[in-house]
Structure 1
Amino acid sequence: MRAKLIDLLKVIGPGFIMASVVLGPGSITVASRIGSEHGYSFLWVIVLAAVFMMVYASMGTRFGVVSEKSVLEVISLSYGRWFAVLIGLSTFLSTSSFQFGNNLGIGIGMQGITGIDERVWPLIFTPLALLLLFWAKNLYKVLEKLMMAIVMIMIVAFMVNLVLTKPNLVSVGMGFIPRAFSIGQVEVIVALMATSFALSAAIYQAYLAQDKGWKKEQLSRGLKDTFAGIAFLSTISAIIIITSATALKPRGIVVSSAADMAQQMDALFGGVSKIIFSLGLCAAAFSSLMVNAVIGGGLLSDSLGLGRSMNEKMPKIFTAIILLLGMFVAIFFRGNVIYALVMAQASSMMAVPAIAIGLLLVVNQRKLMGAHRNTLLQNAIAIIGLICITVMIYFMYQKLEQFFNVL
């Protein structure tokens, strides 16, 4: 029994790293705000996003165990360097925007704990991330242990709190049934979709599987780990929506600050809920801050043919640039922090079309993938997900443009 547990712990890792990058302050804020405003109405979006993410993450994992070359290297050789660079650059920009949200999350979390202005904290946590980036001997192992601990602690806290809030199970169940929505609610759906459907993490799953040393014999167990990470992500998002809808909406509280969000944890933590929630927000922000930057920097470097490993020079340099960009934008930002977190979360979807097309092309190569290429059903679900997100991004473009113009 002990040997089986050790074997299981050895294979777990990439799925939880993927979970940690998506589970950032934007995800927590989006889920809290949607629950407080719309109740359980959009729980079905979480399920849809999880299905799409599982298909694309499985594509990344299968590629990682089959190919010795990286995804972007294969794309460059098969379809041209320009396509690889498009994916790398769009991911770099998307993760930079997401990084802005991570820094805001750290700021408001630490302000909630200490009372010190939120704009001070990015100046402290970003240098810490840079130290980890440039001086950690084995960055992957450091990240793996850190993210697994953070993700598991947050899962336990939110699950216990869910039981204590005692939501109406019938109403919750109704929330998982898709319903019509207005054009004005596209922003909400895109931001919520981004809490689980993050294709930058899905494509990086191939890199993580290769770094982990997975082979075809370990594919089944690797996929279980990948799906577990996505299931945890989706579960946490759903739990936050449910607790927010149960604890905040009946009291007429619409989330506009970290203190508002913290009130959904009153059932578990009572008078110290603000401190505990702020700590959780900081943990989620810092975990996502580090891994998100590594993904953006690594993919851009690989797309340019400058290296792909987290231990190589150029990926680290591009990662550092993302960390610094997110820090500086957050420091000089003036405006509604909660709305900024929602918009940063939504803007992370802008890189999805390029990544989705690239992944679809390589995992359907018969010569490369063999028996592990996509099935007809997997292709159908992947294409539906791509169409859905592309349409939503089209409607979101103006709002995102207006938002970034005022930064």
Structure 2
Amino acid sequence: MLKLLKSIGPGIVVAATGIGAGDMIAATVGGAKYGYMIIWAVILGGVLKYILNEGVGRWQLQTDTSLADGWITHLPKILSWYFIIYLILWSFIVFGALMAATGLAAHALTGILSVKIWAAIHSLIAIIIVFVGSYKHFENLMKLLIALMFIVVVISSLLLKPDIYTILTNIINPTLPEGSVKYALAIIGGVGGSVTILSYGYWIKEKKWIGSKFFPKMKIDLAIAYILTTIFGISIIIISADLKPEVVSGSGIVIGLADKFGELTGSIGRWIFLFGFWGAVFSSMIGVWQGVPYIFADFIKSFFRKSKSSDSLKSSKDYKLFMILMGTLPFSLLLLGKPVWLIVIYSVIGSLFMPFLAFTLLWLNNKNALLKSKKNSIIINMFLIINLLLFLYLGIIEILKYL
């Protein structure tokens, strides 16, 4: 078992990156409002994100190219333009949000320095870690952080002595209480990341997983990742359902949850829970700072430079420039706030990304000429269609908010 855990890794990185403030907020709000009745949404979200991530990994192993390269090569150019614009907007907003979340977690944990100062410190540390460390060092750090937050959150949930029978009943017989649809959809959409799913292809390449012989290992790697992600989400719902923090907006609800946990277990319990929250958001920061510049550098190389060079993307100027810019410029959002026009554009364009990803995996991964014997199975296609319809529905709802 230990040998297996040592041999896998990119999936653990995906899990550590995908579990962040957004997941915790969605699960906390849902749990506080509807308790165990909404646990099934975490499981469904984990399954759907596994299907998407498996498609990205299967494309990478079978074609030895990234999915981004597949879009550039096999889809109309307008779609590549759409994605690169979205990637820049997404990065600016998400990098800024992660700075704020890590700053909040560190401030709540230590009680010293301001949120903004902690945000800047964490971003600088993340940049240094990515610049100095190899992929192996990065992966080992992410394994350590996910172990930290997983142990803290799961043990915290078990200390509350949850009603296992009721939990299993709600999993086996899922229901949608009145008014819970938007919360369930938020949990499903929040589990396991979004754009960072694309980073998995680059991470398995860094791991030297090349060719079809790594398919079994890739599937196990991702299965472990999403099982961990799902258990983490369920644990947050259990804690929130039992403690019922005051439902406030943003990351503040997680701090409220820690306060409630502290009332039950003492100040040490509160501190330990906040330490787990810090581990979750800081691992997301490191994963995003390391993984997203790959996507940008890949697009610049293939779409704009038309280069087929096999040189490492991580050593490229485009990778380093993007990471430095996105590790610094979004700090302005903490100082000035988020402009309404930027949020509207980001929300409208971003609402279409997940259905776009599902559609392209349906389109490209079903082509005999490209994936041959590794093309989608009927079951995979069925789940991709569910992904497409669900996230298209969520996207339409998001767009209608601004009309």
Using structure 2 for the length normalisation, give the TM-score.
0.85
Deviations 1:370-405 (A, max 9, x none): 111101221111011111111112213355x59xxx
Higher mean alpha-carbon deviation, 186-195 vs 100-109, is at 186-195
**1:263 Cα offset (Å):** 3.8
| Distance in structure 2 (CA, Å) of the matches to 1:369 and 1:378 | 14
| Distance in structure 2 (CA, Å) of the matches to 1:279 and 1:132 | 20
Structure 2 counterpart SS, 1:178: coil
| Distance in structure 2 (CA, Å) of the matches to 1:347 and 1:35 | 29
Aligned to 1:318: 322
Judged with a 3 Å threshold, the aligned counterparts in structure 2 of structure 1 residues 264 and 218 are, in CA distance, closer, same or farther, namely: farther
- In the alignment, structure 1 residue 133 sits paired with structure 2 residue 130: yes
Structure 2 counterpart SS, 1:69: coil
Higher mean alpha-carbon deviation, 345-354 vs 368-377, is at 345-354
Partners of 2:48 and 2:383 within 8 A in 1: yes
Judged with a 3 Å threshold, the aligned counterparts in structure 2 of structure 1 residues 126 and 242 are, in CA distance, closer, same or farther, namely: same
Return the match for 1:171 from 162, 166, 169: 166
| Distance in structure 1 (CA, Å) of the matches to 2:348 and 2:45 | 13
- In the alignment, structure 1 residue 69 sits paired with structure 2 residue 71: no
Write the mapping of 1:44-193 to structure 2, written as runs, cut at 5 A: 44-115=40-111, 116-136=113-133, 138=134, 140-176=135-171, 177-180=173-176, 185=180, 187-193=182-188
Q: Which amino acid aligns with 1:222?
A: M
**1:146 Cα offset (Å):** 1.0
| Distance in structure 2 (CA, Å) of the matches to 1:93 and 1:190 | 23
| Distance in structure 2 (CA, Å) of the matches to 1:223 and 1:259 | 35
**1:264 Cα offset (Å):** 5.4
- In the alignment, structure 1 residue 206 sits paired with structure 2 residue 201: yes
| Distance in structure 1 (CA, Å) of the matches to 2:290 and 2:180 | 32
| Distance in structure 1 (CA, Å) of the matches to 2:13 and 2:88 | 18
| Distance in structure 1 (CA, Å) of the matches to 2:257 and 2:373 | 47
**1:346 Cα offset (Å):** 12
Judged with a 3 Å threshold, the aligned counterparts in structure 2 of structure 1 residues 88 and 224 are, in CA distance, closer, same or farther, namely: farther
Task: Please identify runs of 4+ aligned residues in structure 1 that moved more than 6 A.
Answer: 344-348
| Distance in structure 1 (CA, Å) of the matches to 2:265 and 2:149 | 14
Judged with a 3 Å threshold, the aligned counterparts in structure 2 of structure 1 residues 397 and 133 are, in CA distance, closer, same or farther, namely: same
| Distance in structure 2 (CA, Å) of the matches to 1:52 and 1:31 | 17
Count of residue correspondences: 383
Q: Which amino acid aligns with 2:120?
A: L
Judged with a 3 Å threshold, the aligned counterparts in structure 2 of structure 1 residues 200 and 259 are, in CA distance, closer, same or farther, namely: closer
Partners of 1:200 and 1:295 within 8 A in 2: no
Instruction: Give the root-mean-square deviation of aligned CA atoms.
Output: 2.9
Matched-pair identity in %: 21
Aligned to 1:396: 398
Return the match for 1:254 from 230, 247, 254: 247
User: Which consecutive residues of structure 1, in runs of 5 or more, have no partner in the other structure?
Assistant: 335-343, 403-407
**1:88 Cα offset (Å):** 3.6
Partners of 1:186 and 1:392 within 8 A in 2: no
| Distance in structure 1 (CA, Å) of the matches to 2:194 and 2:177 | 24
**1:186 Cα offset (Å):** 5.1
Using structure 1 for the length normalisation, give the TM-score.
0.84
Partners of 2:50 and 2:223 within 8 A in 1: yes
Structure 2 counterpart SS, 1:42: helix
Judged with a 3 Å threshold, the aligned counterparts in structure 2 of structure 1 residues 350 and 295 are, in CA distance, closer, same or farther, namely: farther
User: Which consecutive residues of structure 2, in runs of 5 or more, have no partner in the other structure?
Assistant: 339-345
Write the mapping of 1:276-291 to structure 2, written as runs, cut at 5 A: 276-291=272-287
| Distance in structure 2 (CA, Å) of the matches to 1:322 and 1:99 | 6
**1:230 Cα offset (Å):** 0.9
